[in-house]
Amino acid sequence: MIGFGRFVASVGLAVLAQSTLAAADTVLTLNSWLPPSHPQVTDLVLPFAKQIDEVTEGRVTVTVLPAPMGPPPATFDLVKNGVVDIGYTVQGYTPGRFKTSAVAEMPFLTSDAVVSSVAYQRVHDAMLAGAGEYQGVKVLAVHTHGPGQVFSSAPIGSVQDIAGQKVRVGSVVAHDLATLLGAVPIEGPSSKSYELLSQKVADGIFFPWESVNFFNLGDLLNAAFVAEGGVYNTAFMLVMNQAKWDSIAPEDQAAIEAIIGEPLARKAGEMWNKADAAGRAAMEGKLAIHDATDAEIATLRETFAPVIAANVALVSEAGVDGQAAYDMLLAEIAKLEAE
């Protein structure tokens, strides 16, 4: 899970040259809170910003602010209130506010972030957007990170070994899943992960492979419990201020529409797949990896059933059919995996 991190951007992170900026009809400000070397920034946010310039032939440009205007949980309101024009964050950072995102944070969805991201985007467009949780913003895309797993400084020879361990989590769904595993959930942003583990506040962590590598946790962890499809998943959003969107010329809106939604969700998934593969490769030989057996997966599906039911109900609280949304997500995942 990605948490709050320092963001110190140089002038070189500006998407366009000054001559182009001067000629632009609309300049959009983008709030980024992750380190500039994070793949979410280098392989998703910046290329997307550049693509906006390209498809609008320079009439709409994006510039990344030199420092974040606030922590990740504040991102949505910063965009909604027009403090910034574009931002990205994790819905789960503000528990209870974006209830529909719970559908994408279920366990055992898929091991392919492209599949989970595109499926989530399709469900959002077809069913979840109607809940009105994103009023005041234009949703550019929703997506997920790669499948989240369990990493620990203690040995893990079976799923039972997770019980009793103090495990850092970053969302309500992950908190509930950790509890059902018999672990003790420890709340904290991912930027504090090294501190939590090095000071023995936490024995382990819920993370995708990319984050274990990016936050340099290899020396603090000894074992990984890896389940096909992920023990948990995390939902993200990328949004624009609605009034700012409305101010863009119709022909440029049409050009931007062609690169947001499912195409942008797909790019996000591709970024996470690449980053997770690199992260796992970097951890090879450093961790004892326990791949969950079929029997363990079957047991966990039964163990996690109450959390799945509770989050289906949570989605329904937002005014949409939670079970239908979850069923559509699974159907879209199956369809995409078959392609």
Residue at 23 is within a domain:
yes
Distance (Å, whole) CA 137 – CA 99: 17
Same domain, 162 and 270: no
Q: pLDDT tens-digit profile of 272-327?
A: 999 999 999 999 899 999 999 999 999 999 999 999 999 999 999 999 999 999 99
Residue at 2 is within a domain:
no
Same domain, 188 and 224: yes
Which pLDDT does position 14 carry in this prediction? 42
Query: Above 80 in pLDDT, residue 99?
Result: yes
Which pLDDT does position 11 carry in this prediction? 34
Same domain, 250 and 300: no
Same domain, 55 and 120: yes
Same domain, 218 and 298: yes
Distance (Å, whole) CA 283 – CA 213: 7
% the chain with pLDDT above 90: 86
Q: pLDDT tens-digit profile of 29-63?
A: 999 999 899 999 999 999 999 999 999 999 999 99
Residue at 302 is within a domain:
yes
Same domain, 159 and 240: no
Distance (Å, whole) CA 39 – CA 257: 23
Q: pLDDT tens-digit profile of 237-271?
A: 999 999 999 999 999 999 999 999 999 999 999 99
Which pLDDT does position 23 carry in this prediction? 52
Which pLDDT does position 2 carry in this prediction? 45
Task: Give the length of the chain.
Answer: 339
Domain count within the chain: 2
Which of helix, strand or coil describes residue 220?
A: coil
Q: pLDDT tens-digit profile of 200-236?
A: 999 999 999 999 999 999 999 999 999 999 999 999 9
Same domain, 238 and 217: no
Same domain, 215 and 319: yes
Residue at 100 is within a domain:
no
Query: Above 70 in pLDDT, residue 181?
Result: yes
Average of per-residue pLDDT across 102-119: 97
Q: Residue 215: CA atoms inside 13 Å, Cβ hemisphere, count?
A: 28
Residue at 189 is within a domain:
yes
Residue at 5 is within a domain:
no
Same domain, 164 and 301: yes
Same domain, 70 and 139: yes
Strand order in the sheet with 235-241: 60-64, 26-31, 86-90, 235-241, 137-144
Same domain, 131 and 256: yes
Residue at 17 is within a domain:
yes
Residue at 101 is within a domain:
no
Residues ≥6 apart with Cβ < 8 Å to 173: 92, 102, 105, 106, 232, 307, 311
The domain of 155 spans: 149-232+286-338
CATH at 41: 3.40.190.170
CB atoms closer than 10 angstroms to residue 56: 21
Same domain, 268 and 123: yes
